[in-house]
Structures are given as structure tokens and as C-alpha cells.
Structure 1
């Protein structure tokens, strides 16, 4: 079955351009011009990824992101203008996984979409990663802390999985950015810092398992 993508964008011309490119790639596309309609479609359909504009009528992108994150860890790719860096960081804090700058380049949009979808569905059945009380079940993309569920976003899961796969090894910021977002990433270090901060907050008493190595990067330690 083709992956289903929900485009939430109030500018019809831009929405139609994105839709055309995604359809050409074989994706199933649903559209919403406002936040309320987007939430309704999300409830009615099985959605694999959401492309979400920040500035929307009735209900803005932040509110849509916040409400969806209460129920799902579906990948969310936000659309933002180049001058909205603070808005982008707020989107990450609310649970967005990545962003594309408007007016967006269709090849970049497709690359980001493909990367999020492939990383979400490329895990082999039965795979588990663990670091002490932290356990990641890769097929279901779930995390438990001392056996209790811990809700994280798609990108937070990818970051933690990569660090756990390389326990005790210092991973540079550049390595993490390339692994999670690819070589075409046009953001800055604040994007990664925001995701690491959010992830540590969700890990609670185990936040210190993700160790910052000054001027080098990060590493995961079972007992820092």
C-alpha cells in the first residue's frame, strides 16, 4: 500500500505543487487548508507523515502539532519561512521532527519526506536496543523506561537509537545531523540541541545517560 501523506497548507497553489510531486512519487495524498480540517482527516485516516505549515487559519500549526503529539508519534515535517528560526525551534519543542523552508524546493521536500518515511519503516522485526533501564523496540518504535512507556517523536527515537547503537563512542554533532537529516540539511546546531534537550526531558532520571562531550559531540553511557 502507498504511504499516506497529509499536506496542511492554506496556500492552494503551494499545496497543489507539493501534492503533484508527491503523487508522482507514488504517495497517497490528503489535503487540508486549515488546522481543524487537518485534525479531522488525521482521525479519519491512517496517516504515515504530515507536512504542516505553521501559519494556518482557525488553528495554527503549533496547536495542530501539539494535539497530534498527544495521540501519535507520526513524523511531522513543518513548513516555515526563513525568518522564523525561533518558530522552528518552538515546533521542535512541541514535537515536530524536521522542517523545510518556504518557498520549498520540491527535491528537498521529497528527500526529507523519503528520509522520514524510510527510517520509520526500515527496522527488522524483533530488534531491540537497550541501555540499562532504557529499552527501544525497533519494529514498533517504542521506548520503555523501567518497563514503563516513554512517548518520543520520530526524530527523538532516531537520535536515541543511533546513540545506543554506538554506546560509549563519541558521536560528533556533524555525524548526528548527517545521520538524522542527511547531507542536504540546511539548519544549524540549534536544531539538534533542541531535540537533545527534549529527549533528555522525556528520559527523566535517565537523562544523564546522554553525555555532552564539550567541543566534540555526544555519547550514550549506561552509567555516566
Structure 2
């Protein structure tokens, strides 16, 4: 089980793969094998979850690490890197994140495969990493305005430690409520400011958790 909470002092690596629908499950299977055979044996690894988008175009690997030092040792070992072990696909967009803000503030999300969770990833690529602090000010306002939105169970907004990315991890009760929010977003004004600072790869598609693993 993977536990996501702002109060949990761990860091999260997000690997975002772009793929094609007819290749999505092959990529998932490759990541599962990589996790079981290599990733979970690495010092500092805590847990991970593999997500697939329902539209078939993305796979996102969410990996928790005890420290930035453990993550650096892992990514600096080219013999076990994702790029060398997961071949035949586009290289993922990979960064290390911490949770910047959660709603509700004390929410604790526990995710496992096969439970039918509906996950949304709001992906923002900062045009200038130096603007991440300002971007997060608008993010905090957006989170405040979306609080209590029907269908939104919890949301956890992540910021990359290098300033280059920001990603929202939201859990929804139904695709219908999620679609209603997108049709009339309550945080339209701060979202507009966020988009002025970052290229938004927010997708309408929701995701499901297809695999979860914890350290050996």
C-alpha cells in the first residue's frame, strides 16, 4: 500500500511516460517487472504505484524515497536506470517532488491496485524554474477555491525540488463529477495565472492504479 500525506516525510519520484494505447499495457508490464526485479531492492525505496490513463496515452510511476540522497544514488547508477532497462518507449519525464499542499489539510490517501480509484494528474511544466514560488502562491489559492468541490475526495499538490515541475494528484469519486468540474472550474482565475507561468499538460483523462509495491 502506498500512503500519500503531506505529514509523511518522504519524497516522491514521478516518472511520466507518453505512449500509445496499443503499447500501454506492454509498458505497464515492463514497469512491473522493473519494480520487482530492480527498483524495490534499492536502498531508500519505500513504495511505488503504477498508474495508467483510461485514454491509453500515459503511464505514470509514483515512487517514494526516504531521502534525496537515496534517490540520487539510484538515478546515478546507469546500469539500473529506467532509460537502460525500459526500452522501446519514449524516455519518461522524471523529477523528485515533495507535497506542497493538501486538501483537506490532514488528508491521508492510501492507494492500492484494483480498488477502482479515479486519479487525476494535473501536470505543469514551469517556463522558468525561478518562478515556482510565485506559481505555488496561485496554486494555494486554487486549492482553497476547489475545497469542497463535489466529487473531489482529496488532492495533493507536488512541487519538484528542481523548480521545473508541479503536479497535482487528485482522487475523485466519479468521472461524472470530474467532468462537471472541468466544464465549470471553480478555480478559473488562479488557474489562469498558473498557466501564465507554466505549460499545462492537464488531461481530461483519469487514471487507475494498476500495480502497487512496497519495500522488501
Bin the TM-score by the shorter chain: under 0.3
Q: Which fold has the larger relative contact order, with Cα–Cα distance below 8 Å and residues 6 or more apart in sequence?
A: 2
Highest Rg: 1 or 2? 1
> Which structure has more helix as a fraction of its residues?
1
Please, what TM-score do these two structures have when normalized by structure 2? 0.21
> Which structure has more strand as a fraction of its residues?
2
Please, what TM-score do these two structures have when normalized by structure 1? 0.20
